[in-house]
Amino acid sequence: MPRLTSRRTFLLAGTTVAAGLVAGRNRSQVEGTTGQDELLSCIVDTCIPADESPGALDLGLDNKLKQEIKTKPKTAELINRLIPAVKNKSLSKYRKSFCQLDVAEREALLIELSIDRSQVQNQSDFRKFRRTLFQWYYSSAEGQAGLGYTLPAHYPAYAASSAGTKS
Amino acid sequence: MDFDVLIIGSGAGGGMAALALCEQGFKVGLVERGKRFNPKQHYIQNYGDWGLRKDPLRTARRPEETINTNYATEYTLDGKQHRRSANVYFRVHGLGGSTLHYQGEAHRFAEHAFNTKSQFGWGLDWPITYQDLAPFYQRAEELLGVAGDANNPFKAKRGEYPTPAHALSPRSRILAESAIKVGMSLLPNPLALPSQSVDGRVPCQHSGGCDYGCVFGAKSSIDQAIIPRAEKTGNLSILTESRALALTLDEQNEIAAVKVATPNGMQQLSANAYVLATGAVETPRLMLTTHEAGSDTAYANTNDQVGRYFMETLLTRVQLELEADIKTYRGPPLDSRVWDYNYPMDNQTSGFVLGAAGYLNPGNDPVQLALRTPGIGHAHKEQVRASFGRDLFLFGLAEQEPQHDNRLFLSNKEDAAGVPKVNIHCEYSQRDHHTMQQMRNKLRKWAEATPNKRVRNGPTTLTRSAATHVGGTCRMGNNPAHSVVDAYGKVHGKSNCWITDASILATQGAGDSPSLTIQALALRTADRLAAELKG
């Protein structure tokens, strides 16, 4: 999935450098974003990366979150706490921005955040964030297709009665 | 009179009786506690996040807890103390009743299941035989479009099913091979999931979602297969979201009306005849809460039989993780059965059946599985993928030996409407315990003969009751001293009250599911009732 890889590459490389490398949908999505947006996308990508099935970025779940931030104050508050927590932890532990970390480092950092009982607010925020993200992803047709599952409502025969009428 | 016949309860028995009476020209009122569901709107599997949604088939009943959950059954057997916690009462408030969540199993009880007493020395002989019921089984199967294979050597000889049997699911094909290794036969299960379109309805789509309401409306639940036919006669009036609270008796202690709480207020609905069809718990509850004038007894309970001989189905499970990487939920959830032991294997054991089930439930659905799988990232995705759709269990179902002291009786606790709840006392007999053990042994051997990654024992009903298939409580018999209704479902000693639900079952069919028998009995009762009304 080249299109998806380029977006991920962009996020890892940083806005300024990579902006010229991405094209089409990805570029237009990223242009004008703030550092917070970029970091949010990196977190989303870390939680549900693409592999043989699409990742959360491919489903636009980072953008969905950004839209929610605009309309839902509680989501905005949560993200506004979570983003600095991730940013600061990354800088203090690795002296790099979160998006510059490799996959293993990013995963380790987020897991640490989710189990660190000394930072109850961070722990709670990340768990809520994870829940929202997984809920969106695994209730989507794309996420479910990655498990080999098709929601009955998406069956081809759902709209019209078909097949084998008894004579 | 408001109606020729007033039927309380729209499930397997009430719905089928309504159709038969409407088709014979009678004006029928059908009272249903729940709403009428729209499969394409209300059922959770219309939605990607169905595992997190409230299932309306379950939540609809929650405001009214029927059973006093503080009552547990404690008893001693062979010097050992046993305790069974209160019944978990699985029923549905909705037009179609519990057929809304049944798996469509459409079993005829075996011939021997009608006379266990004379054949084996335990249980009870029904006042009717298999042959008496066979034509009504046939009629019910036609109405439901049952899909099945007529060549089941463990069942009475019969004609072809209305629609062909479903091909065995991938899980059943694997399990059929291992069943042979341990001397058993896994055979297609007759299902009210038509394999071809019947009445212009969509045939079964193998979505596996029977339990949460079939989003295709393909499952032959009463609301899909029966009510529309009854409505076409122009003789059916349906009162949904209406609850029968009590029977109103006249001076002769016959039913004069039924007090019904409707969305428009309390009503007294009257008819020439009344059919109670609210199940083996609610029907006796309604009778026990109605007192006859001039006596201390409840309605039709002069002989203290109402509520007695309560029976469950004995259930034991073995969890199995297959070695093969298949999606175990694919296909009808209960597409196969083992009937080798439906005829009792010895004089200590009741008849039982074995089966396999693969489900997607809230809990192992995509969303909840992902949420409960720890971690994030690549490893999390892989783990979710690896474990999704792998759940499978083998189960054994047997009939419980009917016992006089296993009964439901009124509690001093009341529900929100002021109607007394019921306590259920339900001990297992020596035979019940032995049968449970036999089933467990057979299941373990079967599971271990199947290429597997893991086998472990699952839950049983030894310690926790399961009121999915309950029966008895108003049982059928010729002698009013030991039964509540006669061979046609008419309440002994009463002129205008009939019962068409699982409460009239004399025994539980050696592990077969009761729905088709309830429906066949309802058709038979309706014919008799119609004949009486016609004079």
SS3 letters across A9-47: HHHHHCHHHHCCCCCHHHHHHHCCCCHHHHHHHHHHHHH
Distance CA B367, CA B344 (A): 43
Its ipTM equals 0.85
CA of A43, closest CA in chain B: separation in Å?
10
Task: Say what the pLDDT of residue B487 is.
Answer: 98
Task: Say what the pLDDT of residue A8 is.
Answer: 52
Query: Which of B378, B380, B384, B391 to mutate against chain A (most A CBs within 10 Å)?
Result: B378
Q: Could you read off the pLDDT of A106-132 as tens digits, one per residue? A: 999 999 998 887 888 989 999 999 999
Are residues B269 and B243 in contact, defined by beta-carbon separation less than 8 angstroms?
A: no
Contact between A138 and B367 using a beta-carbon 8 Å cutoff:
yes
Contact between B367 and A134 using a beta-carbon 8 Å cutoff:
yes
Distance CA A136, CA A59 (A): 9
Distance CA B169, CA B336 (A): 9
For B104, B165, B196, B295, B302, the CA distances from A165, given in Å and listed in that order, are: 20, 15, 5, 58, 52
CA of B393, closest CA in chain A: separation in Å?
20
pLDDT(A15) > 50: no
Task: Say what the pLDDT of residue B467 is.
Answer: 61
Are residues B311 and B489 in contact, defined by beta-carbon separation less than 8 angstroms?
A: no
Are residues B493 and B5 in contact, defined by beta-carbon separation less than 8 angstroms?
A: no
Contact between A139 and B48 using a beta-carbon 8 Å cutoff:
yes
A153 DSSP assignment:
G
SS3 content of chain B, % helix, strand, coil (to 5): 30, 25, 45
Contact between A141 and B48 using a beta-carbon 8 Å cutoff:
yes
Cβ contacts of A131 on chain B, cutoff 8 Å: 371
Q: Which residues contact B307 (CB under 8 A, 6 or more apart)?
A: B284, B288, B407, B408, B409, B422, B473, B474
- Four-residue CA torsion sign, A15, A18, A19, A25: negative
**SS3 of B186, please?**
strand
Tens digit of each residue's pLDDT, chain B (535 residues): 799 999 999 999 999 999 999 999 999 999 999 999 999 999 999 999 999 999 998 887 766 678 888 899 999 998 999 999 887 777 899 999 999 999 999 999 999 999 999 999 999 999 999 999 999 999 999 999 999 999 999 999 999 999 999 999 999 999 999 999 999 999 999 999 999 999 999 999 998 889 899 999 999 999 999 999 999 999 999 999 999 999 999 999 999 999 999 999 999 999 999 999 999 999 999 999 999 998 889 999 999 999 999 999 999 999 999 988 888 998 999 999 999 999 999 999 999 999 999 888 888 899 999 999 999 999 999 999 999 998 899 999 999 999 999 999 999 999 888 999 999 999 999 999 999 999 999 999 999 999 998 999 988 888 887 767 899 999 999 999 999 999 999 999 999 999 999 999 999 999 999 999 999 999 999 999 999 999 8
Among A49, A153, A162, beta carbon nearest to B378: A49
For A103, B24, B143, B265, the CA distances from B523, given in Å and listed in that order, are: 66, 12, 11, 32
pLDDT band at A158 (very low <50, low <70, confident <90, very high): low
Q: What would the DSSP string read from start to end of A77-145?
A: HHHHHHHHHHHHHHHHHHSS-GGGS-HHHHHHHHHHHHH-TT-HHHHHHHHHHHHHHHHHHHTSHHHHH
pTM of the predicted structure, to 2 decimals: 0.91
Distance CA B273, CA B495 (A): 8
pLDDT band at A157 (very low <50, low <70, confident <90, very high): low
Contact between B196 and A46 using a beta-carbon 8 Å cutoff:
no
Q: Could you read off the pLDDT of A43-72 as tens digits, one per residue? A: 999 999 999 999 999 999 999 999 999 999
Contact between A149 and B209 using a beta-carbon 8 Å cutoff:
no
Which class for A73: exposed (0-12), middle (13-18), buried (19 or more C-beta within 10 A)? exposed
Closest CA to B509 of B492, B497, B521: B521
Task: Say what the pLDDT of residue A27 is.
Answer: 30
Cβ contacts of B200 on chain A, cutoff 8 Å: 161, 165
